[in-house]
């Protein structure tokens, strides 16, 4: 069922709202009412799992879009029109993501969709957005190897998270052996393929790389953690690079603690564990372990402090945390607003053309820019997990990093670029000067 609301923490209807509703009923013509709604509001689709294994991560992104809509409506909306959220629950069911995306675009007539977390959910909806020529903002770190005209990627590409994390472990932690542990789907498998090639290019031997995959929601980690412990006992500094997603992270870290593996022995650097995943769980097994993100709540900046205060006021929860995919959602939302204002239209083609070059403040003191490949510029931070579920930043890039759609580590991708401005192509081959070398 599709549910319509602009704020789940909504107040009772105002007198003005009740009068408007009564007027609509008095007309007695649903077609006329629909036309009035279409004229008065801009619908924004929210496509995030509110149930199932990914709800632990995705629910807060739904709330983030509602918050941004509420903030924008306080400013008068966009081009004189108020925004209305249309929220659906694809329930961590990857085919259902495509079905719900189609509903949002064809039945609800949304102007844009903010959604998806896993790459398998994004891959599921891509054909729908291409066929119906609608816009998706995707706010989560991913494996790259993609540049779609209808998608804007505000999360990290591998060169904005995975590669810098490995560089940090090599240089600062002197890591020599590597465990690449992930959930069994496209993002971890492709990311680890990139990382394996990168490690080998740095002189790491095959016998010093261990790769392991587990299903979504995996809970029995005893054997796998024992294998990691054994792999790390060879006399070389060992680290785990984790692309484990969703609620499987809780028993994974707990088992590390059960088997006495401390961060000082075998550090774990995670790409999908942030403040939201740490909220409300026992953080003792995670102390000292690491995460690589483009944002942490603990970063001191006036823009961040202002955002956190407004977010906690909106949710009526002074302990409600923020995290990286939230910031990516905020940046994407603000870029979309600016593009609609620039285009003076919500028509997909006009907004798509307006987005490259658009800038928006990030929450860590910089300004991010939408690039021709539909990725953005982002800073990179390595954070150490503290007992309160927050992070101490132990390393950061000196400047913002431009997101690469295609990985330089893979033979089939190293000559490809995404360029929707000059080349009008998501996979332009710079050697053959042709579009369509691979992918989109």
Summarised one tens digit per residue, pLDDT across range 201-260 is 999 999 999 999 999 999 999 999 999 999 999 999 999 999 999 889 989 999 999 999
User: Is residue 4 predicted with pLDDT exceeding 50?
Assistant: no
Could you give the 3-state DSSP secondary structure of residue 378?
A: strand
Two structure tokens written together for 412: 């089939």
Which H or E element spans position 11?
none
Integer Cα distance of 141 and 160 in angstroms: 9
pLDDT of the residue at 247? 87
Query: Do the domains spanning 3-156+302-308+324-378 and 159-300+382-402 agree at the CATH topology level?
Result: yes
Q: Which residue has the tokens 């740095």?
A: 202
- Distance between CA 48 and CA 58 in Å, rounded? 6
pLDDT over threshold 60, residue 126 = yes
279 within 8 A of 312, measured Cβ to Cβ: no
CATH of 159-300+382-402, one of 3.40.50.2300, 3.30.70.2190, 3.40.50.1980, 3.40.720.10: 3.40.50.2300
65 CB-side CA count, 13 A: 28
Task: Compute the distance between CA of residue 221 and CA of residue 229 in angstroms, rounded to an integer.
Answer: 12
* Least trusted range by pLDDT, from 29-43, 93-107, 333-347: 29-43
pLDDT at 147 > cutoff 70 = yes
- pLDDT of 282 reads 85
Which H/E stretch holds residue 356? none
pLDDT in tens, 59-82: 999 999 999 999 999 999 999 999
The answer to whether the beta carbons of residues 188 and 271 sit under 8 Å apart is: no
pLDDT digits (tens, 9 = 90+) for 306-344: 999 999 999 999 999 999 999 999 999 999 999 999 999
In this predicted structure, the answer to whether residue 292 has a pLDDT above a threshold of 60 is: yes
The rounded Cα 97 to chain-centroid distance in angstroms is 16
pLDDT more than 90, % of the chain:
84
Reported pTM: 0.87
* CA 44/CA 85 separation, integer angstroms: 5
CB within 8 Å of 152: residues ≥ 6 apart: 135, 136, 137, 138, 332, 335, 336, 355, 370, 374
Indicate the domain borders of the chain: 3-156+302-308+324-378, 159-300+382-402
Average of per-residue pLDDT across 148-162: 98
E strands in 173-305? 177-183, 209-214, 238-243, 268-270, 290-293
**C-alpha–C-alpha distance, residues 133 and 38, integer Å:** 19
| 3-class SS of residue 166 | helix
pLDDT at 36: 35
Predicted confidence (pLDDT) per residue in 128-139, tens digit: 999 999 999 999
pLDDT, tens only, 208-224? 999 999 999 999 999 99
Q: Is 102 left (phi over 0), alpha (psi -120 to 50) or beta?
A: alpha
Phi, then psi, of 271 in degrees rounded to 5: -105, -5
pLDDT per residue as tens digits for the range 352-381: 999 999 999 999 999 999 999 999 999 999
The whole-chain average pLDDT of the chain stands at: 90
- Cα of 402 vs its chain's centroid, Å: 16
Q: What percent of the chain has pLDDT over 70?
A: 90
Q: What CA–CA distance (Å, rounded) separates 153 from 137?
A: 6
Give yes or no for residue 19 having a pLDDT over 80.
no
Specify the pLDDT at position 284. Answer: 85
pLDDT band at 2 (very low <50, low <70, confident <90, very high): very low
pLDDT band with cut points at 50, 70 and 90 for residue 437: low
User: CB–CB of 391/304 below 8 Å?
Assistant: no
Dihedral (CA of 406, 240, 295, 313) sign: positive
Per-residue model confidence as pLDDT tens digits over 270-281: 998 999 888 877
3-156+302-308+324-378: in CATH 3.40.50.2300: yes
Which of 393, 327, 312 lies closest to 360 in space, CA to CA?
327
């Amino acid at each position: 069922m599709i549910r319509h609301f602009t704020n789940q923490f909504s107040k009772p209807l105002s007198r003005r709202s009740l009068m408007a509703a009564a007027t609509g009923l008095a007309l007695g013509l649903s077609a006329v009412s629909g036309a009035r709604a279409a004229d008065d509001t801009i619908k924004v689709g929210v496509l995030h799992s509110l149930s199932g294994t990914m709800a632990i991560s995705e629910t807060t992104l739904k709330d983030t879009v509602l918050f941004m809509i509420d903030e924008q409506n306080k400013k008068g909306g966009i081009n004189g029109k108020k925004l209305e959220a249309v929220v659906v629950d694809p329930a961590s069911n990857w085919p259902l993501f495509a079905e719900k995306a189609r509903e949002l675009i064809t039945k609800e007539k949304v102007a844009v969709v903010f959604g998806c977390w896993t790459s398998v959910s994004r891959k599921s909806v891509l054909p729908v957005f291409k066929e119906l020529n609608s816009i998706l903002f995707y706010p989560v770190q991913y494996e790259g190897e993609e540049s779609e005209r209808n998608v804007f990627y505000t999360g990290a590409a591998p060169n904005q998270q995975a590669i810098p994390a490995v560089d940090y472990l090599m240089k600062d932690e002197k890591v020599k052996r590597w465990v690449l542990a992930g959930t069994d789907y496209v993002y971890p498998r492709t990311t680890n393929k990139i990382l394996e090639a990168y490690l080998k290019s740095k002189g790491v031997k095959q016998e010093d790389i261990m790769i392991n995959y587990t299903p979504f929601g995996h809970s029995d980690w005893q054997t796998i953690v024992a294998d990691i412990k054994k792999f790390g006992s060879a006399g070389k500094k060992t680290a785990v690079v984790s692309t484990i997603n969703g609620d499987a992270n809780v028993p994974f870290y707990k088992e590390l603690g059960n088997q006495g593996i401390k961060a000082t022995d075998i550090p774990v650097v995670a790409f999908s564990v942030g403040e939201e995943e740490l909220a409300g769980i026992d953080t003792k097994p995670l102390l000292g372990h690491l995460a690589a993100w483009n944002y942490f709540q603990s970063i001191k900046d006036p823009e961040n402090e202002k955002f956190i205060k407004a977010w906690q006021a909106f949710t009526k929860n002074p302990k409600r945390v923020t995290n990286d995919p939230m910031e990516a959602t905020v940046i994407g939302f603000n870029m979309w607003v600016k593009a609609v204002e620039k285009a003076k239209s919500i028509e997909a083609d006009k907004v798509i053309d307006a987005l490259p070059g658009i800038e928006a403040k990030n929450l860590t003191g910089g300004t991010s820019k939408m690039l021709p490949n539909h990725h953005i510029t982002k800073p990179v931070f390595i954070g150490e997990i503290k007992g309160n579920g927050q992070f101490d930043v132990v390393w950061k890039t000196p400047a913002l990093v431009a997101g690469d759609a295609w990985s330089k580590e893979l033979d089939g991708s190293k000559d490809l670029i995404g360029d929707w401005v000059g080349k009008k192509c998501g996979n332009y081959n710079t050697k053959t000067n042709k579009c369509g070398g691979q992918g989109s």
